[in-house]
Chain A
Amino acid sequence: MTTPTFESTNVHPTKPRKKNSFPDFKSALWMSAPALLGLFVFIVLPFLLAILFSFSNQRLMSPNPTEFVGFRNYDRLLSVRMLTLQPEKDEAGKILLDETGQPTYPRIRSVLRSDENLREFKELFTVSLFGQRTAVVAKDPIFWIGLLNILKFSLMVVPLQCGIALLLAFLINQKLPGMQVFRTIFFSPVVTSMVVIAIVWTFLYDRQVGLINQMLSALSFGHIAPIDWLGEEKIALLSIVIMSAWQGMGFQMVVFLAGLQSIPEELYEAAELDGAGGWQKFRFITLPGLRNTLNFVLTTTTIGALGLFTQVDVMTQGGPNNSTVTVMMHAVRSGYQEQDIAYGSTISVVLFVLVLLIALVQRRLSMGGQR
């Protein structure tokens, strides 16, 4: 099939197409138009609109015209203040102590109410340091809690998921029979939908009847008390981390496996002849050979983690006490449920900046590695 091709090119050695500078323009236009139009209308336009809306009071359905409001949405989203609280004193100026001998402080809500400039703020958290009490207040504490949660989530899920995925990839990369079966098993949660997995794990995690607690109890002969996996503030996010890592690591494992297999076998053989040990082979061949793969996996996993939504929506709706609320969830609640498109868009823009930062850091890191 290819033989006549080369013959015909030989007939015209002086690239005849060059004379006519861009002969394919028309075809290129109509062939790329549908995709480019789609990208423009459904990615670029909404993105530009997000920026535009974030400076307005746009609502999903509203009888009133949309107005430009400047940075009001950003102010509401990002405003944070630190307040140093003074201990309460009696009329004589003596510090009031409570029953345990500690100074008493005014309630933050009353402090915020008494000050005209702080009226819109709500408490985020309070710390006591060096005999001083400092309150951090924000206009939108849920956003900051959500941001903190997705950062925590990423910091836990990325190493856990990628670490075990790498380990599994190493294990099934060995030339032993049956590796295909294991690969299939580890990959199967990836093709199962997150909604299904979240529902099934809601049962596994149940405090009273959950399979995990029942198994733990049976295996420890009743010594492990039932854990409220999703109902306890301190571990609810961790429970979601474990489940998410479980669902997604098959994907990473396969990518790592492909990365491992793309490293030429001869490199290892040469190193072995030079007397390199297992660790040296890993350090000087495997790790550099895996660098791009590692970069790709870490970045995509992190960016995915920042958009955490489905699991939380199905399992905890952000509870208990906002311990699993996420930025994306806050965006959907504001933009969709409360129909405040402007505020939802503002959150989206901030989320995008976060993603962009991570992508830039990743590019910097991978470029640094190549030089």
Chain B
Amino acid sequence: MSLTTQTTHTPSRKAGKRTAALLTYLILIFFSFLFIFPVLFMVVSSFKDNPGIFSDLRSLKAFLPVGNVSLDNFAYIFERGNILLYFKNSLIVSGVTVVLSILVNSMAAFALARLRWKGRTLILGFVIALMIVPFDAIAIPLLLLVSKFPVLHIGADGINFSGTWLNTQTVQIVPFVASAFNIFLFYQFFLDIPRELDEAASIDGATPWQIYWKIVMPIARPVVATCAILGFLAMWNQYLWPIMTVQSTAARPLQPGIQEFFGRTTQWGQVLAYTSLITLPMLLVFLMFQKWFVKSVATNGLKG
């Protein structure tokens, strides 16, 4: 009895599922178009000049590299746009911050999660409370603070302090190394590692540093990846802080760099070539590490 009802239901159910799948694909393709078209337009238009871009707008040609296509825009940017300098600055600032941040915050998390000492619950509560302070709410007083900091010089004439943090790479790196959020991520991960591991190691004579570096950190690779990816993305895309602290071209990173270029040209092709150049490497890196990117974001969301 039950068998017969099932067999009569199957075809219609199958057909229903197929329609649902088709509908899903249609909606997804529609949204995909909405997500892709600005990037596609940007890249294609970066090979055209103003008249070319404008005349192609009303047709599909806006998304096709046809007509008067050349590399002139790119040549101009490399010549006049300072792009390599800004790129290098961004790379140094983001890279150094991420490496230091992983080291410093995982060490603190290790101390909080795996060492026994008085006051660690208090400190932990304090760190967690700091997670809700948005950067926007401290940017202005922080600006005054760092403007008073002198720069440490170590050279032939010994160690001395002079100048100000403004217009340096230091000012873009140091304030972002310590991160309550990263400490919390590492802390949660470290808690789940069986205690027997480091207890045994410490009985065998390992110091806390050795336990941290040789036992705990190698296991914590997924958290390292998460902090690296999210940290790099955040640093690379920073805008507010550099426009307040860096006016000199020499230390300027990419984002204010493009904004400044955008302000002094009327050639849309050049602007779009600039934005394409700095977006494509990022998209490429994203495509390569796509799985990790998505995983990082996903685990963070669940932790909240």
Contacts and interface: CB of A to CB of B under 8 A. Distances in A.
A7 B183 CA distance: 32
Contact of B108 (A2, A32, A49, A296): A32
Interface string A34-46: 1111110111111
A74 interface: no
Interface residues of A, number: 110
B144 interface: yes
B138 interface: yes
B91 interface: no
Interface of B: 21, 24-25, 27-28, 31-32, 34-36, 38-39, 41-42, 53-54, 57-59, 62, 104-105, 107-108, 110-112, 115-118, 120, 123, 127, 130, 132-145, 147, 174-180, 183, 194, 196-197, 199-201, 203-204, 207-209, 212, 233, 236-237, 239-240, 243-244, 254-256, 258-259, 262, 268, 271-272, 275, 278-279, 282-283, 285-287, 290, 293-294, 297-302, 304
B200 A355 contact: no
A79 B82 CA distance: 46
Given A36-B123, A251-B297, A185 B133 contact: no
Contacts of B39: 188-189, 192, 200
A46 B141 contact: yes
20 contacts: A22-B117, A27-B208, A32-B111, A35-B104, A38-B104, A42-B175, A42-B178, A168-B31, A176-B25, A182-B31, A183-B294, A187-B294, A188-B286, A211-B41, A254-B294, A254-B301, A297-B301, A307-B136, A314-B262, A344-B141
A5 to B, nearest CB: 4
Given A34-B178, A60-B144, A195-B239, A28 B301 contact: no
Candidate in A28, A60, A251 with the most chain B CB atoms within 10 angstroms:
A28
A191 B286 contact: yes
A323 interface: no
B209 A27 contact: yes
Contacts of B138: 42-43, 46-47, 50, 348
Given A49-B144, A50-B141, A191-B282, A27 B298 contact: no
A264 to B, nearest CB: 14
Interface of A: 2, 4-6, 8-9, 12, 17, 21-25, 27-29, 31-32, 34-39, 41-47, 49-50, 53, 58, 60, 164, 168, 171-172, 174, 176, 178, 182-197, 199-201, 203-204, 209, 211, 214-215, 217-218, 246, 250-251, 254-259, 262, 292-293, 295-297, 299-300, 303, 306-307, 309-310, 313-314, 328, 331-332, 335-336, 341, 344-345, 347-349, 351-352, 355-356, 359
B134 A307 contact: yes
B134 A176 contact: no
A336 B143 contact: yes
Contacts of A344: 140-141
